[in-house]
């Protein structure tokens, strides 16, 4: 009964436009794997979040479950390294799937809809540290942000594929046809920024896939600003 209530609650949350301000998107990272039997419910939650303009939902497929019978076709060692960096930052002893990281700071089991809902609502009430603006002309994206709280921040450029369908033939999810949303294909640190002078940076991007820019305290730590071009 609690699971049904939780599913209804997260659905209601996702369908309520006023929960989050449009100018303060919450970044949600899901560390997942096609070889993980516990991951499909979290993948579904992320697909719902991906429909929201006020959430930047990102699926980072890891590669450390590839040995159990199915190689995740989206698995990237860089995603595993990012999850390990989060673990080091919080002195966590292990990494696991499905794990969500919200706003760069809150880490939780990604298949627990009530916990996901509560964490998203808490972050929606926070003020973003920096207002990130993106404009694109051809293959050039211009990134700007006004100065604010001094610190050491990573300016990161992320690309993703909005939707992918995979027929899983082996491993724990064998026989399932899965739809994955916002599959991260690249995550690049463009530069570091001290937050004390106006940020203006240009980056080359190719192709029609969405472009995300994330300002995050070096560590990795809290995400203090984000924007997206679809």
Q: What three-state secondary structure class fits 131?
A: coil
Query: All domains of the chain, ordered by start, with CATH?
Result: 2-229 (3.40.30.10)
Q: Report how far residue 47's alpha carbon sits from residue 59's, in angstroms, rounded to the nearest whole number.
A: 9
Rounded distance between C-alpha atoms, residue 168 and residue 43, angstroms: 14
pLDDT at 84: 98
pLDDT, tens digit, 9 for 90 and up, residues 57-71: 999 999 999 999 999
Per-residue pLDDT, 9: 47
What's the sign of the alpha-carbon dihedral 160, 53, 28, 38?
A: negative
Task: Give the whole-angstrom CA distance, residue 154 versus residue 3.
Answer: 38
Share of the chain above pLDDT 70, in %: 90
pLDDT tens readout for residues 166-180: 999 999 999 999 999
Supply the DSSP string of 4-16, one letter for each residue.
HHHHHHHHHHHT-
Residue 132 has pLDDT above 60, yes or no: yes
pLDDT at 150 over 70: yes
Query: For 181, what's the count of Cα atoms within 13 Å in the CB-facing half-sphere?
Result: 20
Q: How confident is the model at residue 127 (pLDDT cuts 50, 70, 90)?
A: confident
Is the pLDDT confidence value at 7 over 90?
Answer: no
* pTM exceeding the 0.85 threshold for the entire prediction: yes
- Could you tell me how far CA 49 lies from the centroid of its own chain? 10
């Amino acid at each position: 009964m609690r699971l049904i209530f939780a599913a209804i609650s997260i659905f209601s949350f996702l369908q309520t436009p006023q929960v989050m301000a449009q100018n303060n998107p919450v970044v949600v990272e899901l560390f997942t794997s096609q070889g993980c039997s516990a991951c499909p419910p979290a993948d579904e939650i992320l697909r719902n979040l991906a429909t929201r303009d006020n959430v930047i939902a990102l699926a980072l497929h890891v590669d450390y479950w590839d040995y159990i019978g199915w190689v995740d076709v989206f698995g990237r060692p860089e995603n595993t390294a990012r999850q390990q960096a989060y673990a080091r930052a919080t002195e966590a002893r292990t990494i696991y799937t499905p794990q969500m990281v919200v706003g760069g700071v809150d880490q939780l089991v990604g298949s627990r809809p009530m916990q996901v809902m509560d964490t998203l609502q808490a972050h929606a009430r926070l003020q973003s540290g920096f207002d990130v603006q993106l404009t694109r002309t051809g293959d050039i994206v211009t990134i700007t942000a006004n100065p604010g709280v001094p610190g050491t921040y990573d300016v990161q450029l992320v690309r993703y594929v909005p939707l992918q369908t995979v027929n899983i033939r082996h491993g724990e999810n064998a026989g399932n046809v899965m739809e994955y949303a916002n599959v991260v294909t690249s995550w690049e640190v463009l530069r570091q920024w001290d937050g004390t002078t106006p940020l203006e940076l240009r980056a080359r991007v190719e192709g029609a896939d969405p472009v995300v820019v994330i300002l995050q305290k070096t560590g990795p730590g809290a995400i203090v600003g984000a924007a997206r071009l679809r």
